[in-house]
Amino acid sequence: MCYVGVGTYDGYQHFQLIQDEATRWVWGFLMKAKEEATGVAISHVMWLLAQGHRIEVFASDQGKELVNKRMKTFLRANGVEFLWTNAYSPEENGLVEKMNGVLLARVRSLLTTAHMPESLWDEAFTFAVEVVNVSASSGLDGDTPFARRFGERPDVGIMRVWGCVVHEFTPKVLRANKLENPGKLGLFLGFAKNSEGYRILNLRTGDVRERRSVEFNEDWTVESSYVEHLLANRYRRGRFNLPAVIPLVRLPVMAAVIHNELTAPPAKRQRLTNAHGSGRSIVVVEQSPVSAGGSVTEPSSSTPARVPLADAKLSPFGEPQEEVECLEHDQLHEENGDPEEAVSVPNRRSTPLRELPDSFQAQDVNDEDGEEEVADVIASGDSVRSCLSSVGDNLSGNESDEDNDEDNGLGASFRRSTRIRHPNVRLADYEIELPASLVIQAVNAILEPTSVEAALEAPDAEKWVEALNTEFAELLRNNTWELVERPADAKVLTSKWVFVRKRNARGEVERHRARITIKGCQQKYGLNFWETYAPVVCAEGVKLVLLLALHYGLECRHIDFVTAFLNGPIDCEIYMKQPEFFDDGTGRVCRLLRSLYGLKQAPRIWYKTLDKYLRQCGFQRSKMDGGIYFRWVDESPIFLTLYVDDIVIAATTENIKLVMDELSRKFKIKDLGNVSHLLSMEIRYVPGKMLSISQRGYVAQLLERFKMAKCKAVPTPQVKGNFPLPGDPDKEPVCVNIDPDVDYQSIVGSLQYLVSCSRPDITNAVRTLGKFLTCYTKEHFVLAKRVLRYLQGTREFGLVWYKPDSPAMQLVAYADADLGNEKHDRRSITGYVLQLNGCTFAYKSRKQSIVTDDTCSAEFVADSECSNLIMWTHNLFAELKIERTKKTVLFEDNRAAIHVIEEVSSGYKVRSVDLKFHKIKDFVERGVFAIEYCPSEDNVADIFTKPLGPQQFTKLRERLNVSPVPDNQ
């Protein structure tokens, strides 16, 4: 057993080897903890015995994970002798100990050659075990473990370059239409475990799947950072923004066939001198990449090169197509026909092996020293080229000329492939359309650069250079750091440039922004950061301030702070390397004087800095919402909402100018004009007349992202009578996506943001779907897509408010409950909504925290929970000095619950309800608000508790102020 020290995304940190001494066959097992070793060994021995094999001796080291009572008892019961080595004597178990080193060296070589993250070592390990089992060994007189075990030679022709790019073909029955591209881009990780196929990493979703129909492009792999971010998003809930076009890099080597596997006998072995002058016993055959035209070109470097934009395969409409992103097509079949029929399927048993020359059959595969040397060569960046082409030539009977070996300056044989590569005729159309697509892509579909190098190579490089210079000048202007000699005992953090094209509400590029961000993940708590929390305004707070602006006829101005985080002084000693592109080469480091983007404490430092200055200007911070500030000037209110560096000022024109002048004295600000686009919300505001909040662009992006842009619309997000979905969300373990490229959790998360901002009409549907984020089935997936179908027909809808004719200021609330809605725990659903002057600004649909046994109790709990939001609004109004001219009213459709609340002494029906819910009785008794009856069909909160029919749903939706957003007012 071996502890690797790097965890995989499946949680593996150990592997265990079991090797058969007779055949030299190796079994490799991945484990999450070493305590699993005994169970793995016992299960494997039982399997071998069930297959009819006889085991005489089981040998291991003295590790307690194997030498224990359970293992001894099992082996004794099955007639197997148990032997273990003496302490600190691994040579006594030399066969498997040597294999352990061989496999580790190969894993390192595979990861280094393909430039893959270390977290994929489990896939590389499994592939390395496959290679060992089909490789010749001197311990078997040149035979292979595969041949000794199965009695037939393996087909090494199925071996592929680990980590190369593949095209995974979609079966015809799963294609949406005849025009859908048949392939998806993937990464080859090895062979399927239980079928004749391949393990493929989907480069869009991060899922690892076993597929049969694939085609290989062994000259290309994917940028390591892209794979790492993709896996982090898929398995670690990462939030990395992945580019729309997958970044491909050319493989520096197609494969490294090492001398202890497929090399000449000692008499023919050559000496290769590396850059350091030391000899390496290795045969290396170099194969140069081939251009699209078929000519052989010299490789410029062993360093992976980025895919040039001019070589990218793009659709005629400028949109990236993952199916044609591989630039080299030599591995693709030339015949026209169905892709599935043109794909060779790996068969490790039935296909006969081509005759191996003698020079490849005598070498010992277990030469650990040789493996370590080769791994060192690869890790050090020395030029190692693929030997697969050499193997293919040798298998065909082509011998290399020994005289040429002597003429080689390095003392090694270098042969180049003479095979003529032909482009795939099926992709000829893409070659024809390439120039036009490049022009369109340069205008409409350019990716965000992920590095300075990529930005300088982009078509809009001049704008990125300007953005870099602007940002760096701003850093110097703010005196963000000072250059000092690197302290000997200080931890120096690194930084990264982040490039973003800022777009307006219509998606058009307004400006290019480059921002230097420090890598806060390198910080340590208690060493260079402590507190990190910084409040922002809540969604209810934003809508309430906008409603107050509508009521008072105020202007709403949107301003942005330029490099906001650079304005706060740093709160501890932090050092950073000089930024890329602006390093003066002196070796000095930046001692931060001010906060910087990326620091864990940066948001808090900025918030504290701005909060202090706003207080100096006479503003007060709300205790109910830390992102709301207010101030009265000459009987006129000024309201500020703060979300990091975005501020909305609601005030008269004169007061807005006053506030902006005050802020500009301290900070550099940018006036974005009247508020129109805030946090992905489209805001249309006519002071004193109309206000609308919508997310039409966001909805369109959702439908496009989840492949529902052309779906048929439905009238409601849920079907009436479609009560709680089957399955226990706490116990059901299986998650199934109908479409592997569309993630259920992403759908629900995206819809949740829509609910919180502008679409209360889908609140109950999204709450229901959210219960099954970790245990969803195909049925849940279908219902999630129904919500998208509903949005398809209502994408122009949003919250639309009109100022009422009456100057009265009144809060109205509606509350409702659905008894026993949750079938697995019998808890009820609470729904409530608050409206100011008939305008909806706050709402909730949630499961109750206790079980109630009748409708009265459930409604009582719902009313009590609604009272919390009522009191929050009352307290906020009191802080803002807003006077309510009419008493707040809570409408309820259950007379029994109203009676229990109004009559203090009547508590028989709610005796089992927790005491905390009885506070509503005190609020009503003191006259804080009144509770009144309304019929169920008029209770707006009913839409938050259960699915409704189209007619009732439409009626309540209109009462929620959700309607088509007017284009012109």
CA distance linking residue 814 with residue 819, whole number of Å: 17
Tell me the C-alpha distance between 843 and 832, whole Å: 6
> One fold for both 2-407 and 804-934?
yes
Residue pointed to by tokens 């932090």: 574
What 3-state class would DSSP assign to 349?
coil
pLDDT of 546 = 95
For residue range 546-571, list pLDDT tens digits in order: 999 999 999 999 999 988 888 889 88
Q: Whose CA is closest to 960, among 843, 840, 846, 845?
A: 840
Residue 120: half-sphere exposure toward Cβ, Cα within 13 Å: 32
Q: How far is CA 515 from CA 500, 501, 563, 645, 790, in A?
A: 8, 11, 9, 14, 39
Mean pLDDT over residues 333-349, rounded? 42
pTM of the predicted model, to two decimals? 0.56
What does the pLDDT look like over 583-639, one tens digit per residue? Answer: 888 889 999 999 898 999 999 999 999 999 999 999 999 999 999 999 999 889 999
CA 657 to chain CA centroid, nearest Å: 43
Distance CA 140, CA 137 (A): 5
Q: Where are the domains of the chain?
A: 2-407, 804-934
Output the pLDDT for position 560. Answer: 92
Comparing 279 with 528, the larger pLDDT belongs to 528
3-state secondary structure of 897: helix
**Which helix (H) or strand (E) covers residue 799, if one does?**
strand 797-802
- In 681-753, DSSP assigns E strands to 681-686, 690-694
- For residue 797, how far is the Cα from the chain centroid? 30
pLDDT of 369 reads: 40
pLDDT tens-digit profile of 238-293? 778 888 888 888 875 434 333 333 333 333 333 222 333 333 222 222 233 333 33
Residue of higher predicted confidence among 520 and 348: 520
Q: Please state, in angstroms and rounded to a whole number, the distance separating the CA atoms of residues 765 and 39.
A: 45
The rounded distance, in Å, linking the Cα atoms of 495 and 74 is 56
pLDDT of residue 725: 57
Chain centroid to CA 156: 36
More confident site: 182 or 856:
856
Q: Which of 164, 235, 237 is nearest to 200 (CA)?
A: 164
Which of the four pLDDT bands, split at 50, 70 and 90, describes residue 868?
Answer: very high
10 Å Cβ neighbour count for 135? 25
Band (736; pLDDT cuts 50, 70, 90): low
**What's the topology of domain 2-407?**
Nucleotidyltransferase; domain 5 (3.30.420)
* Angle, in degrees to the nearest 10, between helices 121-133 and 94-114: 120
State both tokens at 619. 């503003």
Model pLDDT, residue 386: 36
Say if CB 773 and CB 784 are below 8 A apart.
no
pLDDT 10s digits, 15-54: 999 988 888 889 999 998 888 888 899 988 988 888 888 8
pLDDT band at 821 (very low <50, low <70, confident <90, very high): confident
Residues in CB range of 176: below 8 A, 6 or more apart: 707
The pLDDT of 846-867, averaged and rounded, is: 93
Task: Look at residue 807 and tell me whether its pLDDT is greater than 60.
Answer: yes
Q: CA-CA distance, 819 to 830, in Å (whole number)?
A: 9
Q: How far is CA 886 from CA 552, 637, 929, in A?
A: 17, 20, 10
Each residue of 478-513: pLDDT tens digit? 889 999 999 988 889 999 999 988 877 566 788 898
Q: What percent of the chain has pLDDT over 70?
A: 76
Spatial separation of the C-alpha atoms in residues 432 and 76, rounded to whole Å: 71
Q: Where are the beta strands (DSSP E) in 661-747?
A: 669-674, 677-678, 681-686, 690-694
Question: What tens digit of pLDDT does each residue of 673-700 get?
Answer: 999 988 889 999 999 899 999 999 999 9
Q: Which residue did the predictor score with more confidence, 94 or 257? A: 94
Q: Are strands 839-847 and 829-836 parallel, antiparallel or unpaired?
A: antiparallel
Q: What mean pLDDT is predicted for residues 653-663?
A: 95
CATH no. of 804-934: 3.30.420.10
State how far the Cα of 222 lies from the Cα of 251, in Å rounded to an integer. 9
Contact criterion met (CB below 8 Å) for 243 and 226: yes
In sequence order, the β-bridge partners of residue 669 are 561
Q: CA-CA distances (angstroms) from residue 19 to 43, 80, 344, 830? A: 15, 16, 30, 61
Q: End-to-end CA distance of the chain, in Å?
A: 73
Q: Which helix (H) or strand (E) segment is 473 a member of?
A: helix 461-477
Contacts of 332 (CB under 8 A, 6+ apart): 167, 215, 217, 424, 426, 427
| 159 Rama class: left (phi>0) / alpha (psi -120 to 50) / beta | beta
| pLDDT at position 242 | 87
- Distance from chain centroid for Cα 145: 41
